[in-house]
Chains A and B, each alone.
Chain A
Amino acid sequence: MEFSLNTEQMSLRESVARYCRERCGFDARKRSAASAVPANGSHWKDFARYGWLGAALPEDCGGAGGTAVENAIVMEEFGRSLVLEPFLHCAVLPGQLVHAAANDGQRRDLLPPLLSGDLALAVVLDAADAAPTGRFKAVRGAGTSGTAYILNGGGALVVAGSRADKLIVPACTSEGLTLFLVDALATGVQRSAFRTIDGVEAADIRLEDVGVAQSAVLGNIGGAELALRSALEHIIVAMCAEAVGAMAGLLETTRDYLRQRRQYGAALSSYQALQHRMADMFAELELSRSMLHAALQSMLGSEPDARRRIVSAAKAYVGDCGKSLGESAIQLHGAVGMADENKVGHYFRRLLVMAGSLGGGDYHLERFALAG
């Protein structure tokens, strides 16, 4: 066993960290998060150029040939720097889903433009869900061109749904769960864009009698279940890494605040009650990091049932720790923590949203318990 990163991994971490330091400052983030319009996407092109979008995809797909570990390295740095770009939902989830579900031709069509940043793909799952919940249904159409299937459904809060060029819709058919590739501008596709409280772009997506051709089926009819499960495991673990990075950044921010803030003739960092609270936060961070390691181990292994179980364990644990650490950080900042202009609140809201994304603590705890 070896916990330290190899040379390539250290190089990846250093590149991402440097990029974040130099190009993803907090002030720019605040402006982005407050803006009604989507970002200009310049960061996304950089991510593509550096090969980060395909960090965990095989080389024969145009990826960098890494694993869940490489995604975790990238996401930890993004978490620490509160990067707003939807790497999880526009790179990890669609990339892994296309890789797992699509046939060779579709992979060749979709993955290169996805990884070069030329194609924006979003998977139409509700942000809170760890599995599709029957929001979308597909029935066979008249068969005339473009209407092999008719899709209906809605009520999905889709991260980065507003910027997507194409949507991957998991829909229930009479033959089982099936993935459909839908043009975002197709007739019947309704999107209303907004931001969630952490500043991240999202869209409410509704499909009303959207007709698609046979070729829109990604992979096999009724064959989406396993591919979706695999892709969701990837994004959940990568999100845990983002949460660990955010917790680390927040803990450091809080420590720095306590050191410079003086009341009653002493720096707050000298008060034992606050030192103890910070020590408990450190414990939560490091145990979360260890849970991430457990999840990464399961992603590298070859036991799907064990992986499903441990990924749920990690999401439940890291999600709850992130929220708890965030609450403590606000408390330790006093009134300063309540002001929107300060970084602590931004970290907290991101950790809060992550705790409820892709299945909350109770959902994953139940899934872990049932699998045990």
Chain B
Amino acid sequence: MRLLDGAEELAFREEVRDFLRDLPPEITSAQPFGHEHPRATRELWTRTLARRGWLVPHWTRAWGGRNWPPMFHYILAQELCAHDCPEIDRIGTDLVGPILQLVGSQAQQQRYLPFILDGREFWCQGFSEAGAGSDLALVRTAARREGDYYRVNGRKLWTTQAHEADMMFALVKVNAGESLQQGHTFLLIDMHADGVTVRPIITIDGRHHINEVALQDVRVPLANRVGEEGKGWSYARSILGAERMGAAGIPHTRRDLAHLRELACRMRQDGRLSSEEPLFRHRLAKLEIEVIALEFLLLRVLHATPGPEREALGCVLKLRGTQAYQRVSDLMMQVAGMRATALVQEGTPSYEPSVAAAYLFRRSATIAGGTSEIQRNMIAALALQM
């Protein structure tokens, strides 16, 4: 058992910090809490990271991957997050990229991977539908073969960032005569194609993150099918573990603790700073300890050999990580009080509009990416054989 950072890890962390210190101002200008950087900045950031070789270190070597020890991936994620860097397109880098390298055709890799690497194309994930959330067996978006194309009809729901996306990684079912094949098929769908309509869904935070995507007689080339018909789920399984760990949001929670402390050092109740309130300090301490435990669990999972035990631990990360992620914004709400709930102009001094928005939107953290209830089902099956 070796638990201390070696010289290489310490050196790498310094290297990342030096890189972040030298970034141009248009990338580093921090957004107010809860806001995303604009698309142009995200694209610039993607290219900056790619040039450094740090955009997709987990990809295959042929496409820019590095042979890093798990600790380097962890350090990079932690430092980028702590620095409030723009969000890269994770659907592209963590879902589409890896799946195309695993089972995609040469042509698909040549066409799509470079555009992920230079930030030119952003992706969305079209899985859920009105009738199919946790149970994706109920997906009804249908693809009917017609010559060199599929004719695709259906509606995807809760699609995050579809309004910004150029491409959709879609989970569909191919028609088999009058009925649908039992297995899933993955299609790469051009969001600018005829028949694709994106309708915003405003969430309870009053903002636009997610959408409904209607697909009406959309023509998708057969060449845009990833792998074989009906085998989609077997490809997805290998990627889902990584998605689950990302969805746990642990570097984000660590970063948000800093925001929370900063807020607590500003906000007063009855003249006393929140940071000096014993009850608040107690709650903050409990949360900080939970985050330490989560970080060490993440490290353990990153170093573990693949298998049911590792998968179960990934589910624990998702289950408890999302709860901690919510809890930080919950404490921010308590600290900010009514200052958080006033709907005033952004940037109005002494009001904290984004705190409520973050709290409200983060209720989805325990729902998206596999609900907490599903995570518990999986833990019971994988770790406890119940």
Q: Which residues of A contact B (CB under 8 A)?
A: 1-6, 9, 69, 251, 255, 258-259, 269-270, 272, 274-276, 278-280, 282-283, 286-288, 290-291, 293-294, 296-297, 300-301, 310, 313, 316-317, 365-366, 368-369, 372
The reply to whether B312 and A287 form a contact with Cβ atoms under 8 Å apart is no
Q: Which of B1-29 contact A (CB under 8 A)?
A: 1-5, 9
B138 within 8 A of A: no
B111 within 8 A of A: no
B342 within 8 A of A: no
30 contacts between A and B (CB under 8 A): A1-B5, A1-B9, A1-B69, A1-B303, A2-B1, A2-B3, A3-B1, A3-B300, A3-B303, A6-B1, A255-B384, A255-B385, A275-B384, A275-B386, A276-B376, A279-B383, A282-B316, A286-B313, A287-B297, A290-B297, A290-B300, A291-B292, A293-B299, A297-B4, A365-B282, A365-B285, A365-B289, A368-B285, A368-B288, A372-B285
Residues of B within 8 A of A279 (CB): 319, 375-377, 379-380, 383-384
- Category for how many chain B residues contact A: 35 or more
Interface of chain A, helix or strand or loop or mixed? helix
The reply to whether B300 and A293 form a contact with Cβ atoms under 8 Å apart is yes
A303 vs chain B, min Cβ distance (A): 11
The reply to whether B286 and A365 form a contact with Cβ atoms under 8 Å apart is yes
- A290→B379 CA distance, assembly (Å): 17
Residue from A1, A278, A287 whose CB has the most chain B CB atoms within 10 Å: A1
- A3→B305 CA distance, assembly (Å): 11
Residues of A within 8 A of B164 (CB): none
- A270→B384 CA distance, assembly (Å): 12
Please name 18 further chain A to chain B contacts, defined as beta carbons within 8 Å, in addition to the given A69-B1, A369-B282, sorted by A numbering: A1-B299, A3-B1, A3-B3, A3-B303, A5-B1, A255-B384, A276-B377, A282-B384, A286-B297, A287-B294, A290-B294, A293-B296, A293-B300, A294-B293, A294-B295, A300-B3, A310-B292, A368-B288
- A317→B290 CA distance, assembly (Å): 8
Q: Which of B75-117 contact A (CB under 8 A)?
A: none
B70 within 8 A of A: yes
Residues of B within 8 A of A255 (CB): 384-386
Given contacts A3-B303, A369-B281, contact A287 B386 (CB under 8 A): no
B42 within 8 A of A: no
The reply to whether B296 and A278 form a contact with Cβ atoms under 8 Å apart is no
CB nearest to A299 among chain B residues: B3
- A182→B100 CA distance, assembly (Å): 73
Given contacts A275-B377, A276-B376, contact A369 B284 (CB under 8 A): yes
- A9→B2 CA distance, assembly (Å): 12
By Cβ-Cβ distance, the 6 closest A-B pairs, closest first, are: A275-B380, A279-B376, A290-B296, A279-B379, A2-B2, A297-B3
